[in-house]
């Protein structure tokens, strides 16, 4: 999307020349888009650092629950807690499909797969969501979008066929880890589809975030205690990685909700490209990962798939 599509970005001068007059208000959504993409993109390498430093799935989820409950509760204070059976059932849906299962899957898989590869796999979320939405009639599946689904599935086929071969001393990951990793975007897409179909039952998304944290935190804590995965935070690098990822995720999510309200869902959906690209880039910079040709092919296929499945703007200028 070009900057001229942001609405109000051009003016006619006395010499009949069109000149760019991008204001701070016009630029803010673009800056936020890049920051959120870079912020979410760094989550995979941070998680890799945490897992490599001894943190395990339930232990990380405990701290994610604490961050979501505290920060989500503060940010949603004016809305109050969820009320009634249906709102709490929705929070339970988010807790299970939006946190417990996908986080356990991704934290387990990333112990065996490169972080950059995980970033590519996580890009399946909108592709799976379109596939599910098409099945239940929520989303139109045009030939263009069907091609996008095919590109996304082809990317995973390439990864599975090579077992995530990096072409370097990083070696390959077990095939089962690729399968476990795919569970995470599948759960996120299912949660998204159910939310699109049923709505939030009158809640603000931040209410749902805090409410779901209130439900999954005891489960994660119990799982961590039973399995011996409960681990405190210190001043070491893995602990800082955990703290950065759980706090960053919560704050970026809140900012992303603002971006949707400010600029529309179509504009905000472009974050998916940046999260994937930055995820690979951060993994190369922070972890020294290098990739074989097959992985770059998978990345190209996934980005093409994201481009094709993304809904077209219909009169949306990008900054409503």
Span 18-63, pLDDT tens digits: 344 567 777 888 888 899 999 999 999 999 999 999 999 999 999 9
Residue 102 lies in a domain: yes
Residue 316 lies in a domain: no
pTM: 0.82
For 29, residues 6+ apart whose C-beta sits below 8 A from its C-beta are: 6, 259, 262, 263, 267, 318, 319
**Is the confidence at residue 93, as pLDDT, over 80?**
yes
Residue 22 lies in a domain: no
Burial class (CB in 10 A: 0-12, 13-18, 19+), 291: buried
Of residues 168 and 94, which shows the higher confidence score?
A: 94
Structural domain boundaries, residue 53: 39-309
For 2, residues 6+ apart whose C-beta sits below 8 A from its C-beta are: none
Q: How many residues does the chain have?
A: 320
Residue 182 lies in a domain: yes
Span 259-271, pLDDT tens digits: 877 777 667 777 8
Residue 23 lies in a domain: no
CA distance 105 to 258: 28
Q: Domains in the chain: how many in total? A: 1
Q: At what angle do helices 24-41 and 43-52 cross, to 10 degrees?
A: 30
Residue 219 lies in a domain: yes
Distances (CA, A) of 194 to 2, 52, 101, 311: 32, 34, 16, 18
Residue 99's region, left for phi above 0, alpha for psi from -120 to 50, else beta, is alpha
């Amino acid at each position: 999307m070009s900057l001229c599509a942001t609405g109000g970005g051009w003016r006619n001068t006395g010499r009949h020349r069109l000149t760019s007059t991008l204001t701070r208000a016009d630029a803010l959504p673009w800056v936020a888009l890049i920051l959120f993409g870079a912020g979410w993109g760094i989550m995979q390498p941070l998680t890799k650092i945490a897992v490599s430093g001894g943190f395990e799935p339930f232990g990380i989820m405990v701290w994610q629950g604490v961050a979501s409950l505290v920060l989500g509760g503060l940010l949603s204070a004016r809305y109050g807690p969820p009320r009634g059976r249906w709102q709490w059932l929705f929070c339970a849906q988010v807790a299970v499909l939006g946190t417990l299962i996908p986080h356990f899957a991704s934290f387990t898989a990333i112990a065996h797969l490169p972080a950059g590869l995980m970033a590519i796999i996580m890009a399946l979320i909108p592709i799976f969501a379109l596939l599910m939405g098409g099945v239940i009639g929520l989303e139109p599946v045009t030939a263009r979008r069907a091609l996008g689904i095919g590109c996304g599935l082809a990317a995973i086929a390439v990864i599975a066929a090579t077992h995530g071969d990096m072409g370097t001393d990083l070696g390959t990951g077990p095939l089962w880890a690729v399968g476990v990793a795919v569970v995470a975007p599948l759960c996120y897409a299912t949660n998204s589809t159910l939310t699109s179909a049923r709505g939030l039952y009158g809640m603000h998304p931040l209410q749902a975030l805090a409410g779901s944290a209130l439900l999954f935190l005891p489960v994660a804590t119990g799982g961590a205690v039973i399995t011996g995965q409960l681990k405190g935070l210190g001043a070491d690098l893995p602990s800082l990685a955990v703290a950065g990822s759980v706090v960053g995720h919560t704050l970026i999510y809140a900012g992303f909700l603002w971006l949707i309200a400010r600029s529309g869902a179509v504009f905000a959906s472009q974050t998916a490209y940046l999260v994937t690209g930055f995820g690979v880039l951060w993994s190369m910079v922070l972890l020294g990962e290098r990739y074989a040709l097959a992985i770059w092919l998978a990345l190209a296929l996934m980005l093409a798939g994201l481009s094709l499945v993304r809904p077209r703007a219909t009169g949306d200028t990008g900054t409503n």
